Amino acid sequence: MGYRLHTLSPERNSPTGQIADREFVASYDDRDAVLDFVDGVDVVTFEFENVPALVSEIAESRGVPVRPSSRILHTAQDRLREKAVLSQAGLPVTPYRMVEEASDLYDAVDEIGFPAILKTSVFGYDGKGQLLLESKSQLGAARQIADGQPCVLEAFVEFSSELSLVAARGTDGSFAAYPLVENRHENHILDITIAPAPVESVLVQGARDLAQKLFELLDVVGVLCIEYFLLPDIQESPDAPNSVDISSDRFLINEIAPRPHNSGHWTIEGAATSQFEQQLRAVCGLKLGSTEQLCPAVMLNLLGDLWDEGEPNWPALYNYPAVNLHLYGKQEPRRGRKMGHLTVTGSSTEAALETGLAARAALRRS
């Protein structure tokens, strides 16, 4: 699209650095390096939340816009801040209590009850820094997690499915949402995304309405993903009233990610504008692209476990012409690490999923 890309990362030859026009290799708190980086660009964005505030502060002090803003980055970096901002705005979140130190844990458990999930307030993702509490016998292990770091205790939610919605907002306030998708996890790590999610249109509209409210609340410029828990339909109960509004009342916001998201990777082949092009359009002040879905699509993650028996059998994918391979350029495959993904398009999500599962299985050498 004619733009030059500079990247700043503590690691040399990072996935982005491999394709960047200029790669800065330095710690995020190296003031001189950050100044050098900021002075060479017209706008700053980020691809994960755990970037120290120094980068945003320096950029803003030099008149270089940070999109999404440092305020959003600050909010998304900490689960407690995130939940407080959302709940204060009247957006639906899982019931929670703050655990600032280990001694707060017992009061929090008394209020939330069992089962509950204890999560570290920062640096937790893909199930890391989390513990499911089902009885008082686990409070000793929970205290070890909460000792010396703030945590949040969340009620365990019986949900019917996990959904997410990737959307974007431009500098002019325009809003564009991709289709609502279903996410399936294995060991707390996203395994499969199905686009579109097999839900009623009224639920799709409810998810979009919540997303637009959140985008406007935070004044988002850029791409952001909202992860939802979809609650069971209470109308299925014979005791439930017949006039229940299910457009948004069945959603809880699990978390937000102010960046292109794993569950939006299907858009590379499956949408008129990929989430990555949309991020560029948004942060550079261009008109947002169409979020129309071109065909049913499924995304399947490729984790480092796939390399346990050596290099995967990549030629096997040539037997599946509807399968698209994306490898991220990460140097070291580790168990549970996202190394790439497959996107499969088809006449239906069921057909695409069947093909994708067969293609991923064919990659294993045994």
- Picking from 185, 108, 168, the residue whose alpha carbon sits closest to that of residue 139 is 108
Mean pLDDT across the stretch 322-347? 96
* pLDDT tens, position by position, 85-119: 999 999 999 999 999 888 889 999 999 999 999 99
- How much of the chain is in helix, strand and coil states, percent to nearest 5? 30, 25, 45
DSSP summary character for residue 159: -
Categorize the per-residue pLDDT at 127 as very low, low, confident or very high, splitting at 50, 70 and 90: low
pLDDT of residue 67: 96
Alpha helices in 53-175, H assignment, sequence order: 53-61, 70-76, 79-88, 105-112, 139-146
Per-residue confidence (pLDDT) for residue 102, from 0 to 100: 83
> Taking a C-beta distance cutoff of 8 angstroms, is the pair 44, 64 a contact?
yes
101 CB contacts (<8 Å, ≥6 apart)? Answer: 146, 147, 150
Calculate mean pLDDT across residues 326-330: 96
pLDDT at 353: 98
From CA 310, how far away is CA 284, in angstroms rounded?
A: 41
- Bond prior to 196 in cis (omega within 30° of 0): yes
pLDDT of residue 237: 43
Q: Of 14-28, 116-130, 164-178, which gets the smallest average pLDDT? A: 116-130
Reported as a single tens digit per residue, the pLDDT across 257-290 is: 999 999 999 999 999 999 999 999 999 999 999 9
Residues 13 and 8: their CA atoms lie apart, in Å, by 11
Query: Which whole number is the average pLDDT over 58-81?
Result: 93
| Residue 246, CB-side half-sphere exposure with 13 Å CA sphere | 18
C-alpha pair distances (Å), 38 with each of 61, 65, 184 = 10, 10, 38
Q: Which region among 288-297, 341-350, 357-366 has the lowest average model confidence (pLDDT)?
A: 357-366
| Residue 240 clears pLDDT 60, i.e. is over it | no
In this predicted structure, the answer to whether residue 363 has a pLDDT above a threshold of 70 is yes
- Give me the chain's average pLDDT, please: 92
Is 246's pLDDT higher than 80? Answer: no
Backbone angles phi, psi at 170, to 5 degrees: -90, 175
Give yes or no for a contact between 267 and 287, defined as CB atoms under 8 angstroms apart: no
Given a cut of 90, whether residue 241 has pLDDT beyond it is no
Nearest to 340 by CA among 251, 279, 262: 262
Candidate from 95-104, 186-195, 249-258 with smallest mean pLDDT? 95-104
Domain annotation for the chain: domains and CATH numbers: 6-66 (3.40.50.20), 95-155 (3.30.1490.20), 161-362 (3.30.470.20)
The arithmetic mean of pLDDT across residues 329-357, rounded, is 97
* Contact criterion met (CB below 8 Å) for 126 and 63: no
pLDDT surpasses 90 at 30 = yes
Query: What angle, rounded to 10 degrees, do the helices at 201-218 and 79-88 form?
Result: 100
The pLDDT, as a whole number, for residue 126 is: 57
Q: pTM for this structure?
A: 0.91
Q: Model confidence over 46-60: pLDDT tens digits?
A: 998 888 888 999 999
pLDDT of residue 53: 85
Taking residues 120-137, report their average pLDDT. 80
Quote the pLDDT of residue 251. 96
